[in-house]
Chain A
Amino acid sequence: MERSSTGLNGEAEGPVRLVIFAVGNPSRGDDALGPMLMEELECQAPPGVELVSDFQLQPEHALDLYGCALALFIDAGTGTPAPFEFRELTAAAGHSVSSHAFTPSEVLQVYATLHGHPAPPAFLLCVRGDHFALGESLSPGAQEHLEAARRHLQACLVEPTAERWRHHLTGAQGPTEAQR
């Protein structure tokens, strides 16, 4: 489901309970983990869920959060604990060196700055990837991680609320975004 307004007022049309962002390039090896999970979601077309797929997160993705009750970011990660990490995000001005490719926490911060109030609760499903070369297919290790992440995602979608998802967290053992 894609919103149709050009959104220059920063407001979306229609009720959306959950927005899911999948980030990655399908032709860049394990960077395809996010888009592959998104393809499966698109087939399911869960009601009340907006699906946003892109190569990388950008500032304007903050506009997709408007009016949503809950957000999920799906991405491949290097150095992520295998097979995946699932944790709640907080907005962070951060010390990122990249504005072309934002972290989810920076998107949340842009939302808060633009709208003057905090972004909705947001979670990150970061799937471990190892190889990202152009033209490569998914590595064997990433295929295993994908399967585990798929099961976790489906479990989350049974009851998409922040309260329920906090019971699905993989713990704080993994590195923070700033550390990865």
Chain B
Amino acid sequence: MSFELETAANRENLRRVAIDPVSRVEGHGKVTLLLDDAGHVKEARLHIVEFRGFEKFIQGRPYWEVPVMVQRLCGICPVSHHLAAAKALDPVVGALTVTPTADKLRRLMHYGQILQSHALHFFHLASPDLLFGFESPVQQRNIVGVAGAWPEVAKKGVLLRKFGQEVIRITTGKRVHGTGAVPGGVNRSLSATERDSLLADADRVIEWSREAVHLARQLHETNAALYDDFGLFRSHLLSLVRADGALDLYDGHLRLRDARGQIVRDAIPCADYDQHIVEEVKSWSYMKFPFIKDLGPARGWYKVGPLARVQNCDFIPSPLAEVERQDFIARGEGEPIHAPLAYHWARMIEMLHAAEIIRELLDDPDLLSDQRMADGPRGREGVGIIEAPRGTLIHHYRVGEDDLVSYCNLIVSTTHNNQAMNEAVRQVARRYLDGRQLTEGLLNHIEVAIRAFDPCLSCATHALGKMPLVVELHGPDGAQLDRAERGG
């Protein structure tokens, strides 16, 4: 597969600029820009600099441990891995269909995760860039700066995330490392007291989420020229949808739209994912590049996540979010919206949907039932696909006669978006960096484009001192010309 600006000619004679790692995304990514002597961008790549080894971490473990162990893959979306693993392992215990109580509790947990993760991203990761501007002083462009200038925005962001985490705590039994979902169902129901504690705040969460949609929309519309064009590229859109075409972030079948909005693959059963999606390895990144097999690597890559999901579904099955979706779609004037910064608006529509679903589920008496587990004839293989906050997440396992996992394949959301993020980086590099002086604000444009996808580049590690931002300049001979470091 070859893309413009992916690999430069005469790259050994070019000047290298590295942003290492990308700040305010999860983990260790690195952007390298190769410049010629005139300062023109000749190559732009987003690298993943740490080998993940997720599959190796899982293989050989007893299958019943897996839904708990996979939570340690990601510090921001452990619940998504937890649920995808449990879904994949349901057939192993013969639970081809789980009980209504298990299905609804898992959904409650999942939409709690969506709400808290989207709130974190918008209010604490993206809003500093969006509210202050990409070239504002780095000392101001963080959540503390937002809290000083817009204290109510910051406070609602904190409290929305707190509510989502309470949903997770109550459905999993613990704030982190919970064990709510197990192969075949769930291991706890809600008590009436727990349900009522969530109900007490649920309407306010819907109200705040709706305000967040309007804030994201206002930011987009008041600076439309920038938002519609920044890092723009066109691609296919991939996500789960429900059988009737509704947005469903927990279950469904796979659907692919092309860049013009035509449905080109639909009703793909989750178990058949590997007949349609293959991954290409490139020598310069540890993260693979997935594409649709029969479209080929050059045409078959796609994007996932809120921007894909909100446009891939036919409707959103909750009234307030559906109104917002229709307004969003109208902005495209008959064409899909591909602008990376539109992810933020779409993400807030999904947060509102999550808040509405949580509210609806809390009225369902099945949440309090003790019909938690299903079983049947044992199986040896399963695929679980879920729409995690960042996009489609695939877990695939085979289990041996000894009940140990013999095969594991995970395709995480950020991997699906690998090519898309690289395209966004190239567009921004071409537009904003070519031939200009490399200021901190300009480099942040690259990071803004990447952050729109909310990537998890290296999951679930945090030690003090592990995440500085380093910017390096290399001359044509490879020698380091300059270096800047901030934060930690």
Contacts and interface: CB of A to CB of B under 8 A. Distances in A.
Given A54-B176, A93-B144, A113-B148, A180 B465 contact: yes
Which has the most chain A C-beta neighbours within 10 Å: B56, B147, B154? B147
A178 interface: yes
Interface string A140-164: 0000000000000000000000000
Contacts of B52: 134
B29 to A, nearest CB: 12
Interface stretch (B156-164, B271-279, B304-312): B156-164
Q: Is the contact region of chain B dominated by helix, strand, or loop, or is it mixed? A: helix
Contacts of A110: 143-144, 147, 154, 158
Interface stretch (B39-47, B243-251, B425-433, B455-463): B455-463
B125 A100 contact: yes
Contacts of B239: none
Interface in A1-27: 2, 4-8, 10, 23-27
Nearest to A132: B461
A8 B462 CA distance: 27
Contacts of A30: 463
B476 interface: no
Contact of A97 (B69, B75, B123, B486): B486
Which has the most chain A C-beta neighbours within 10 Å: B158, B159, B175? B158
B326 interface: no
B465 A60 contact: no
B204 interface: yes
B464 A95 contact: no
B198 A6 contact: yes
Given A2-B169, A63-B162, A96-B488, A106 B200 contact: no
Nearest to A130: B463
Nearest to B56: A135
6 contacts: A8-B159, A8-B204, A79-B465, A97-B24, A101-B26, A126-B464
Interface of B: 23-26, 52-54, 56-57, 69, 72-73, 75-76, 78, 120, 123-125, 128, 138-139, 142-145, 147-148, 151, 154-155, 157-159, 161-163, 165-166, 169, 174-177, 197-198, 200-201, 204-205, 460-469, 486-488
Given A6-B198, A7-B159, A8-B163, 5 more contacts: A8-B204, A10-B155, A60-B165, A77-B465, A97-B467
Q: Which are the 4 A-B pairs with shortest beta-carbon distances?
A: A97-B23, A55-B75, A97-B487, A56-B462
